[in-house]
Amino acid sequence: MKKRTLFLFVLLPAAVVFMLVVVVIVAGIWFLSGNRGPDGEGGNEEQRWSFLSLGSKKKTVRVIEARRDAVVATISAPGVVAPARDVAITSRLAGRVMEIFADLGWSVEKGQIIAKLETEEFEIALQRAQSDFKVAQARLEEAIATLEQATVAAARSRTEVERKEALHGQGAFSDSEIDRARNMSDADRLRETVARKNLRGSEEAQRAAKLAVDEVERDLAETEIRTPLTGIVTARNVNIGERVRLGIAGDPSSALFVVSDLSEILIYTNVDESDVSELEPDQPAKITTEALKDREFDGRTIDIAPRATRSGEISIFQTRILVEGDTKDLRPGMSAQVRIEVDRVEDALVVPIEAVVERVQDSEEEEGEEEFARTWGKRKKKEYVQIVFRVEEGKAKRCEVKTGISDETNIEILEGLEEGDQIVSGPYRVLDDLKDGDVLSVIKKKKKKPSQAEPPGEERSSEESEEAAKTRKE
């Protein structure tokens, strides 16, 4: 019993006091040493200020000056590199490949033969068609001669009938002679009609035979596969000895070659329907690719699809961008990322994006108090405004602002601030909870070595960068 009393009232309190003393000593050493890292530089200054601010009403913040700068609003979208024009070359015939005259990467001219099919089958068919045409031609000539003879005979018999009928009244010819002359004339006219009909049939047969010859000759010519485009062979899907099938329009699997005109390169990109209203032809664009990460290409929008296509549950609009300048290193099929410039202000008053926050307009709602509308029995609709906190005499001053366009880091301020105003830019966890009149403790920026210098307005913590990215996405 005495041992338990000694432990509870003497040893346990002493151990607790000892642990508290150790914690305070360790914390003091950590702060005084500046939490130095392996490079000898001070560690996270913001953490040290936060440590000292425990129990203090001061809010430790970063401050930046509202300044003049250019702001460029862009729309970003993924894309694919493609030639301005390419042609999938197929065969009009089914046959076996006998020769190939082009390969991947070769330059070809319009009309150049790039492959050839076996011709034996078509040569035999041509001989047969030509023979049939000769027969049809001979029959046509015979029908022409027959018609000419029948026409002469019919004319002669008609003349004979007319002569005999004229002399019949004088008693030169009897009625029976007149009847025989008329019957002969009728027979000659019938033979003429039949000859004329046979001639039409012979003409049709001759034309059909001529068409058959032309078709076989065309097929024979089609055994020589030619390119309809001057460009580069970007695909070859056939080898000597393989049998090819009849090409089908729109079926890429039937293409023997693909020839692309690489003199102009396009980027095909899909823009979300929420952004398409800002697009128009001839807007400048910047293009990067996964394959050429160290290069940026210039371009301009050519056209925007007038109709959307569905991609999952969203609607997208295909947009074509013409790449300008040297494009020889770009290859069709490369993945690209496009930033299309939709607006620009050269001399705008700007602040970092994360410095602008949204708060409810009503001060009571800002404190979390919600009221019910008596008439409708529903919660009042909150009205949000954009604000920044200006630093005045060491305190936060809430200022409502009107914003314009924004880029990846800055946002344009149209109303509410003046150039040179000191505003709170972070950290976000403090800015999110900051209120009008809060006392501020400004984090002083350490002077960095020249190699560590950062552009103005970009000294931000990883948390601020993540929040800025989240804001841009929204």
List pLDDT tens digits, range 121-178: 999 999 999 999 999 999 999 999 988 888 888 888 888 777 777 776 676 777 787 7
Which of 164, 194, 222 delimits the end of a domain?
222
State the pLDDT at residue 42. Answer: 43
Residues 218 and 292 in one domain: no
State the pLDDT at residue 250. Answer: 59
In a domain, 229, yes or no: no
Residues 305 and 203 in one domain: no
User: pLDDT higher for 430 or 335?
Assistant: 335
Domain that holds residue 36: 2-56
Cα-Cα-Cα-Cα torsion 229, 232, 233, 235, nearest 10 degrees, comes to -110
Which residue type, as a one-letter code, is found at position 376?
A: W
In a domain, 341, yes or no: yes
The rounded mean pLDDT for the chain is 81
In a domain, 65, yes or no: no
In a domain, 235, yes or no: no
Q: How many domains does the chain have?
A: 4
What is the per-residue pLDDT across 248-265, written as a single tens digit (0 to 9) for each?
Answer: 665 667 889 999 999 999
User: pLDDT higher for 281 or 170?
Assistant: 281
Residues 310 and 397 in one domain: no
What is the per-residue pLDDT across 306-365, written as a single tens digit (0 to 9) for each?
Answer: 999 988 888 999 999 999 999 989 999 999 999 999 999 999 999 999 999 988 875 544
What's the predicted TM-score (pTM) here? 0.61
d(CA 258, CA 333): 13
In the predicted model, is pLDDT for residue 19 greater than 50? yes
Which of 301, 316, 345 delimits the end of a domain?
345
Residues 360 and 461 in one domain: yes
